[in-house]
Amino acid sequence: MLPKTQQETFGAFYDSARHNTILEPKTTLLLHLGAAMALGCNSCMEYYLGQAEKEGITTEEIGAVQGVVMAVAAGKVNAQLREGGTEKEGEVNAISKRRLS
């Protein structure tokens, strides 16, 4: 467990990110939810889904966030395959490019 001073510092940092004055509150909440999805933090997702429900965010909006997270994750895998340097790199790249077309 973090020492009290570090807990307070982290809490202040989190609060400043979560309740910033630059982005709309709904956008910030959806970004937090998307980050939780991308990191695979189940307890974070449960928390932010609960917050989303309280804020009236629709399942369609949550689905859109999920789609973005999935697309970025898939893009990462495709990039890794292209940069992988495997013996069959040319074959993998050809398959990957055909699927992206």
Show the tokens assigned to 13: 């940092």
99 vs 43, residue with greater confidence:
43
pLDDT digits (tens, 9 = 90+) for 6-22: 999 999 999 999 999 99
* pTM for the full predicted model: 0.75
Mean pLDDT estimate for the chain:
90
Cβ burial, residue 37 (10 Å; 0-12/13-18/19+)? buried
Distances in Å between the Cα of 30 and the Cα atoms of 20, 67, 95 are: 13, 12, 34
Helices and strands: H and E segment counts in the chain = 5, 0
Q: How confident is the model at residue 1 (pLDDT cuts 50, 70, 90)?
A: confident
